[in-house]
Amino acid sequence: MWTLENLAAGAVHLGLVMYAVFGGADFGGGIWTALASGPRVREQRDGLFHAIGPVWETNHIWLIFVVVTLFTAFSKGFAALFTTLLVPLVIALIGINFRGAAFAFRHFGRQTGEHIPFMASTFAVSSILTPFALGMAVTSIATGKIVFVNGWVQAEPWFWVGPFTLVGGVVGMAICAYLAPIYMTVRTGGELQRDFRRQGIIAGLVLGILTTVEIPVAMVDAPLFAGRLLASQGAPFVAMSVISGITTQILLWRCRFLWAQIAAAGTVTLTITGFAAAMYPDLLIGQLSLAAAAAPPATLRAFFSVLVIGVIILVPSLLLLYWTFRGEPNPELPR
Amino acid sequence: MDNVLSARALMGISLGFHIIYATIGIGLPLMLMIAEWLSLSTGDDLYHKLARRWIRPAGVLFAIGAVSGTILSFELGLLWPRFMAFGGPLIGLPFSMEGFAFFTEAIFLALYIYGEQRLSRRMLFFCTIPITVAAAASAVFVISANAWMNTPAGFRLVNGALSDVHPFQALANPAWAHEAVHGTLAAYVATGFAMAGVYAATLLRGQSSDYNKRALTMALAVASVSLPLMLATGDWAAMILADQQKPKMAAMEALFTTTRGAPLFIGGWPDPASGKVLYGLRIPKLLSILAHRDSDALVEGLDAFPPGTIPDPRLVHPFFDLMVASFFIMLAAAVWFWWLRWRRREVPLDKWPLRALLFASPFGMIALESGWLVTEFGRQPWIARDHMRVAEGVTPQTGISLVLITFLVVYLALTAGLLKLLMRPASAGEGTETTQEERHVDP
């Protein structure tokens, strides 16, 4: 159980969860920029915009952490994934690029109003596109359609487009759209807080429906994954994520926003953990185990020694960052 | 275009683009740190204002650096999966370390940029220290991965499979030290000259406020301190290269035939067909002296190595000369400026020395990019020297030329957007705030 490759897989999983819980919320901010409605559209958008400002780059780095950990610790698996998932990953990259650039341009170029609508729509569209493409890419490793022939990876050109991965892409979007408004309830007050509460409850329902739908879809389109998900290795996480999701809805309903924020992050964490548990012990389901994909033990040991030092530096720094920018977002521009 | 060429072009364009932003991400934090320290220690608020004026461009450039860096980390897998399957266990470690350093830099940069209202002045200065250190560290780490491709170390190959893997030996591979020192210092030179150029332009427009003079002096001081170190580390790099990477050395110096008392060619076009350097300036014995400190030393030419294992000197020698020429252009401009500054005890505002600085300002970046091209073209045809060819490392996926075109459009759009943002003329009615890039100017 506590083998080096399992620990390394834990690090990848942790990175993915952190990216979803923090970076996902930033994409969700972009999604709700597009979906903002009601009399306070402008306030909603501005609130999201100012909340994302100081943290999005830091949050984005979790993705780089996932990629780097993958190629360090699971070089063979990384090569297989990035060979077969070329198209969805290129789409995600384009989205990441335009999202980041549009945000930075808009943020630092705000003194003249002319660019804002175009930059805002680029920001919104790429915030929708990226989690969708990443959701498809991640769920496609559970389809079993990536296979090894003579030691090298192969897959049909469009294998990553199917019912299971399409729902997976939408789940990716829904996770982001779920977190952003719930996080915003803690950082706002009055009418605006009620807007975000309503958005959070709606997104929670959507996420619940989508993840429920994904299970029968998986039985047809990703049977091995579905089998493991409903067996003893995945089922407890499914149950816990359902409980956590319902708890979040109740907390939101009763306006216990701080707890709702934690419960929402817990729901997303448990959902992703359920996915990972059903993948175990494989990196590519049924085709490439974690052990077979792993780098030599010396590399894994070196990676962990670096990881420990990194954590010692990063954790206090991150706490300082989030502590400094807690509470209501500052509307002022940096000067 | 075939797959290998498309993949190389895409990787090259992505790196060439990223290097500009990464360089500023290394150089600018040092300026911030020095300015904040001067402000704290002298009690002069002007230095603090100076630093705060830089954060707007810093924020945009750092964001683009982050996303273009993400593109690169993906492209390692999208374009070179077979190389990563082989080299990942060895070069993954420096990339992980770089990731942590970059993470630290992002956290403290966010604190510094957005924390003006929430942090004390002392705390703001404190934030610039981890930004500067982490930025330099990330350069040093990521260069280790590049150095490994030049001098692969820390493993043995048994029947084509890795064995006896020592990731820390791979990290500290033979080319690491000189590449890392030379490359990181280059970032300070490039950023310093780019910023000095911006302020020289401002002074040339007649806006000779104390603020602009100090900014120019500071930026040029950082660059000028690093400049002689570039010469020293460059010489060191050349001596190690002459020992460790002989084919690259031969291509850099356009030395076709192994020679005792080898001459140095300045400029000229290496012609592989005739094995001669056309139109170049030939200085007898100088290459032997530079490479081995002995005027009669033997220097291996390109003919000393089997055909198909050597780089094309036409892609290496001109960039090497461009790098060296850039150094002398910057040196001349800097010496002129400091000479006048020393004689008059104040910043000279004469047209010609400032114009010289303006002219020299892009050459730090040009030198850095051409130095990088020398390293990369000089390693060809290998992706990991003597172990894996570039063509063996490329993805089996077809249609990479389409990906190349897609990303070309992305980069063009990004550059256009950035230029539009940074070059936009100051809008009226903003009072003292002008919103040009580093062109912030006091009224």
What's the pLDDT score for residue B419? 78
Q: Give the domain range for residue B116.
A: 3-423
pLDDT tens-digit series, residues A238-286: 999 999 999 999 999 998 989 999 999 999 999 999 999 999 898 888 8
pLDDT band at A122 (very low <50, low <70, confident <90, very high): confident
- Does A61 lie at the interface with B, CB-CB under 8 angstroms? yes
Phi, psi (5° rounding) for residue A143?
-80, -20
Does the structure show a pLDDT above 80 at A55?
no
Nearest-CA distance B373 → chain A (Å) = 25
pLDDT tens-digit series, residues B251-285: 999 889 898 888 999 988 998 888 888 888 888 88
Q: E-strand spans in B213-267?
A: 259-260, 264-266
Output DSSP code: residue B432: T
- Out of A73, A97, A335, the one facing B71 most closely (by C-beta) is A97
Does the structure show a pLDDT above 90 at A170?
yes
Contact yes or no for B66 and A314 at CB 8 A? no
Nearest-CA distance A185 → chain B (Å) = 22
- Does A315 lie at the interface with B, CB-CB under 8 angstroms? no
Nearest-CA distance B97 → chain A (Å) = 7
pLDDT band at B437 (very low <50, low <70, confident <90, very high): very low
pLDDT tens-digit series, residues B326-382: 999 999 999 999 998 888 888 888 889 888 899 999 999 999 999 999 999 999 899
Question: What residues have CB less than 8 Å from A147, skipping those under 6 apart?
Answer: A153, A154, A155, A287
Least confident of A97-111, A193-207, B99-113, B179-193: A97-111
What's the pLDDT score for residue B202? 87
Residue owning tokens 């939408």:
A170
Nearest-CA distance B259 → chain A (Å) = 43
Does the structure show a pLDDT above 80 at B430?
no
What's the pLDDT score for residue A108? 65
Contact yes or no for A314 and B55 at CB 8 A? no
Residue of chain B with shortest Cα separation from A324: B118
Residue predicted with more confidence, A143 or A107: A143
What's the pLDDT score for residue B347? 80
**B13 neighbourhood in chain A, CB within 8 Å:** none
pLDDT tens-digit series, residues B211-251: 888 889 999 999 999 999 999 999 999 989 988 898 999 99
Does the structure show a pLDDT above 60 at B140?
yes
Does the structure show a pLDDT above 80 at A77?
yes
Question: What residues have CB less than 8 Å from B370, skipping those under 6 apart?
Answer: B319, B320, B322, B323, B326
The amino acid at A254: R
Q: E-strand spans in B259-349?
A: 259-260, 264-266, 269-271, 276-278, 281-283, 298-299
Contact yes or no for A299 and B167 at CB 8 A? yes
- Give ipTM to 2 decimals: 0.89
* In-domain check, residue B436: no
Residue of chain B with shortest Cα separation from A335: B52
Q: Are B71 and B386 in contact (CB under 8 A)?
A: no
For residues B36-45, average pLDDT: 89
- Nearest Cα neighbor of B24 from B356, B418, B320, B400 is B418
What's the pLDDT score for residue B213? 87
* In-domain check, residue B430: no
What's the pLDDT score for residue B118? 84
Does the structure show a pLDDT above 50 at A33?
yes
Q: Are A103 and B416 in contact (CB under 8 A)?
A: no
- Does B9 lie at the interface with A, CB-CB under 8 angstroms? no
* In-domain check, residue B441: no
| Residue of A72, A307, A318 best to disrupt the B interface, most CBs of B under 10 A | A72
What's the pLDDT score for residue B1? 67
**B107 neighbourhood in chain A, CB within 8 Å:** 58, 314, 317-318, 320-321
Total domains in the fold of chain B = 1
Does the structure show a pLDDT above 90 at B129?
yes
- Rounded distance between C-alpha atoms, residue B12 and residue B315, angstroms: 14
Strand partners, B163: B156
Does the structure show a pLDDT above 80 at A235?
yes
For residues B94-106, average pLDDT: 90
Q: Where are the domains of chain A?
A: 4-324
For residues B135-145, average pLDDT: 94
Residue of chain B with shortest Cα separation from A115: B421
- Rounded distance between C-alpha atoms, residue B254 and residue B263, angstroms: 10
